Amino acid sequence: MRRYNAVIKIRRAEVTLWRFLFMKMSMTVVEISKAFRDASVPVFHYPITMREAWKRMALDKKTVWMCTGVETFSFYPDIIPDNRARGYVNDGGRRIKEEEKGGRDMFGIEWIYVPVAEGSMEKPGCPHLFEDANDWKAAVKWPDIDSWDWEASKKENAEFLKNDQFRYITFLNGFGFERLISFMGFEAAAMALVDEEQQDALKELFDRLSDLYCRIIDKCCEAYDIDGFIVHDDWGTQRAPFFSFDTGRELLVPYMKKVTDHIHAKGKVAELHSCGCNEMQIENYIAGGWDIWGPMSNINNTQRLFEDYGDKIILGVMPDLYDPKVDSEETIREKANAFVQKFCSDPDKICIINRYFGPYLQGVYAEEVYKASRMKYENC
């Protein structure tokens, strides 16, 4: 028995030593990556690829460390006209020049790029497609996506997409409400949502749009080795949503769910980008089938949302800020560790660090979050 106990102690010591050496190796910084808003975020010698880590988190709800967004890569193929119209193209690793940004989206609506805003807007003075939603069938010319040269785009991007990050394709022009704004202008779109005489027409339009998105998703999955889709649809201002919870539930959620169900059927992740003070809409986002939502951190209480809904959707949570010019290394590490202890303790709730925290996610803070979350999740 004494010999047996001695062997057990030796084995435990070996495991402890192995974990120490493995953790020490994995803490090595292998590169500095440019993340959201060009923040310099360290990439460590991870035990698995960043792609696999994000997949486990988003699809299996199991995670190895607290993900920060540096694990992901957004792909904007030039074959989708909306990307050039909105000024975002990285086809084959090539970013288009500023003078190439803008133009017509897949519905023929013209956009102009505004450098100071780092984005595009509809060209002022251009007539809208329709003023009343009941007229959409005669006014909307649907894109012929079969005529797009998917095979050429596939060849162009085959090598470019060979990296160890989780690969998203992003739909920039919005799924429902944002697309409706581009069709008929903001005021008319907002009025259409609450006009009972236009609501049936809107449901038909959103259903047709969801069919189009599903077909584009099919084409993307056939052409590219990708892992998920980010869909834009801003629902609010900095003070409140554009429309009520009930309006969103009736007019938009069923067609969102149709798209997210299709994404999930392909084994892919569905992430929502929805700017605005939209806390009251979170149950609609959950009902819409989204895996991830990263709220705007300065106008939504992301920590409270996580406490209430973290078991139903993965949220981008904003940590408490620190001052890198004033706070000591010890204080910064304490804040990072406290964040991990609070938000990595429940295995049924997973969050990512909010992308708006990017400028602070570097140096010792990033190191401490990675180290502490690795240890925390190992013990969950």
What are the boundaries of each domain within the chain?
A: 31-379
Residues pairing with 32 in the sheet: 42
Burial bucket for residue 348 (CB in 10 Å: 0-12, 13-18, 19+): exposed
Q: Does domain 31-379 have CATH number 3.20.20.210?
A: yes
Average pLDDT over residues 160-175: 93
Percent of the chain residues past pLDDT 70, beyond the cut: 90
Q: What average pLDDT does range 11-33 have in this prediction? A: 52
**Looking up tokens 């951190």, which residue turns up?**
297
Predicted pLDDT at 46: 84
pLDDT at 231 exceeding the cut of 70: yes
pLDDT recorded at residue 164 = 92
Among 188-192, 218-222, 374-378, where is mean pLDDT lowest?
374-378
Do the strands 102-104 and 110-114 form a parallel or antiparallel pair, or are they unpaired?
Answer: antiparallel
Residue 36 pLDDT grade (very low, low, confident, very high; cuts 50, 70, 90) = low
The confidence score (pLDDT) of residue 44 equals: 76
126, 252, 144, 140 alpha-carbon torsion, rounded to 10°: -40
pLDDT tops 80 at residue 23: no
